[in-house]
Amino acid sequence: MTKWNRPREARTPSRIRAIALLGALSCSASWSISANAATATCESLTSLTLPNATITSAQSIPAGTYTPPGFGPITNLPAFCRVVGVIRPTSDSSIGFEVWMPKSGWNHRFTQIGNGGLAGTYALMYSSTSSMMQRGYAIAGTDDGHTATDPASWPIGHPEKVKDLAWRAVHETSVASKQVIASFYGTEARYSYFQGCSTGGKEAFMEAQRFPEDFDGIIGGAAAMRYTDLIARFVWDEQAQLNDPAGYIPTSKLPAIQRAALNACDTVDGIADGVVNDPRQCRFDPGVLQCPGADNASCLTAPQVSALRKIYSGPVNPRTGEKIIFGYEPSGENSFGTQTWTAYIAGANGPTSAAQYTVMNSFNKYLVFEDPNWDFRTFDFDTGVTQMHQKLDPVPFDATSADLSRFQERGGKLLQYHGWIDYSVSPLESIDYYERVLATHTPGKGNGRGERDVAIRRTQDFYRLFMAPGMNHCAGGDGPNAFGQILSYGLISNTPPPSHDADHDIVTALENWVEKGIAPEKLIATKYTSDDPTKGIQMQRPLCPYPQKARFKGQGSGSSNSAESFTCEVDEDDRGRNSQ
């Protein structure tokens, strides 16, 4: 039996690992626990002694609807214990965390929810509590060491707080939350999971790379792993549109851009359905939209064509010509949902309302350059990017290591997903990272079909990537986009899958892989009409483990809106090629 196929019993359970870790952390601390310890009342948890952490409140919440601070009402909750605390691993740290634990029906599982954007809130945890606690999970989250009400300048002069945001808060919250759960229930969680998208996706991979003992299973979506370069590309996009005001592309022109991209790309996969299966196969030049005469909503001016080409291509070093980070893929410019081109690039209320504009200005002014007068218009993509890495690489802020060997060897399982029309984090980032992990499993020095197939088998034994055609950043879009995933910053609720079986729900798929050794061969994604489950299912499509993709069986095989009409196959031209 290979190390990639060890049964669950052969691994070290997370509850035993937690005890070992606690021993190393607490040494002289008075807190201890045994597997047979008596359960504690919720309110008594305020007296719990934890290394580097303090419980500030512990409150019993009755079943029904509860409204946490700064958030809307959450319905359909079981009776639970809400624990709030703060962790201080350094004198300058103040990591807020919360743990919500159902009072009955606990399934002996713990899940931690990642953050979004620049963190500072519990919004993503709160939006997940009802669905996860109904399933019996104890659930936790963190503000990553600062709050949304802090002034934007909070990183200046606080390098330890920057480390908390980059990686430490998630790890420390995992350790403290497991202790709280063990005290409340009198036994440790048997399985520990992490779920996150966007910034939470980066947190997912940071955990797998740096703290492989924290979680048995991890779900990471649209992961902003190369966060430093991602912020640089936000600057690139905004410069492309705003350094020359004539280059700004208003939202009124997005329908024409998407229509032209679909005209060029939609039928490449053999189906005219408004969803491009693999945009890498698309050959779309925005020049076809250049206005032959007067400017209007159906065409682009020459400066707008230039700006759009830059956004698609992504930033390059002006001195060396080297690509800094991937660009975006065409065909979803006017897609349906909240996590769209409008939200991230154009801005619903003009260019300064775009998420990219807001995030890159705050990040660079206060976290990187520590200069409130920093001006993105003068940013140099040679010296500026170097300065960003000089500041952030020692933290480290990025989660780029392709070495997942420790996570693999202790039996961890990792599921990754990414929407093909993501206009925040390029989908090519996920493919590129997966290819780099594949390279660590290639038996020889070549890239022949045999060696690549071996690498894929070895990697897919613990790590699988699912690309979602027609899906925006974490969710939404014109294609099937609901499969039980946690969503991203700016979304206040999750769109549930039609059922919680392993085919339709990524959480169940991960549970089955971790606990039963059953790896997901596909995920069936669902597109509801107007993304509203009450309006019925419009389309379903299988998401296949990369490098496979969904292939329509052809006429006579059924509707192209049905998942049963597709198989998962590898294109011949995908064998041996990477993402570039």
Contact 202, 208 (CB under 8 A): no
Q: Are residues 109 and 241 in the same domain?
A: no
The mean predicted confidence, pLDDT, of the chain is 91
Q: Are residues 472 and 523 in the same domain?
A: yes
219: β partners: 195, 415
Residue that has been written with the tokens 């039963």 in this structure:
516
User: Of 161, 189, 217, which marks where a domain is finished?
Assistant: 189
**Ordered alpha helix ranges (H), 393-480:** 405-409, 427-440, 449-460
Over residues 76-96, the pLDDT tens digits come to: 999 999 999 999 999 999 999
* pLDDT reading at 26 higher than 60: no
User: Of 125, 159, 189, which marks where a domain is finished?
Assistant: 189
Tokens of 243: 């350094």
pTM metric for this prediction: 0.92
**Ordered alpha helix ranges (H), 59-107:** none
Q: What percent of the chain has pLDDT over 70?
A: 90
Set 422, 432, 505, 531: catalytic member: 422
Domain encompassing residue 536: 409-580
Taking residue 60's Cβ as centre, other Cβ atoms within 10 Å add up to 12
262 assigned to some structural domain: yes
Q: How far is CA 28 from CA 22, 24, 89, 431, in A?
A: 11, 10, 16, 46
For 9, counting Cβ atoms within 10 Å of its Cβ (0-12 exposed, 13-18 middle, 19+ buried), the class is exposed
Q: Are residues 439 and 561 in the same domain?
A: yes
194 assigned to some structural domain: no
pLDDT at residue 408, as a whole number: 98
Q: Are residues 348 and 495 in the same domain?
A: no
Residue 429: in which H helix or E strand, if any? helix 427-440
Whether residue 418 lies in the annotated active site: no
203: β partners: none
Set 146, 158, 473, 504: catalytic member: 473
Domain count, the chain: 3
Whether residue 14 lies in the annotated active site: no
pLDDT band at 48 (very low <50, low <70, confident <90, very high): very high
Set 198, 426, 430, 560: catalytic member: 198
261 assigned to some structural domain: yes
Q: Are residues 372 and 417 in the same domain?
A: no
Alpha-carbon distance 228 to 379, whole Å? 14
Whether residue 473 lies in the annotated active site: yes
403 assigned to some structural domain: no
Query: Residues 6 or more apart from 434 whose CB is under 8 A from it?
Result: 416, 459, 463, 465, 546
Q: Are residues 383 and 515 in the same domain?
A: no
* pLDDT reading at 297 higher than 90: yes
128 assigned to some structural domain: yes
Over residues 117-154, the pLDDT tens digits come to: 999 999 999 999 999 999 999 999 999 999 999 999 99
Distance of CA 409 to the CA centre of its chain: 23
The b/e string for 387-397 (b: 16+ C-beta within 10 A; e otherwise) is ebbebbeebbb
Contact 11, 521 (CB under 8 A): no
User: Of 361, 392, 423, which marks where a domain is finished?
Assistant: 392
Over residues 310-340, the pLDDT tens digits come to: 999 999 999 999 999 999 999 999 998 888 9
Tokens of 452: 């690549």
Tokens of 464: 């699988």
Q: Are residues 350 and 461 in the same domain?
A: no
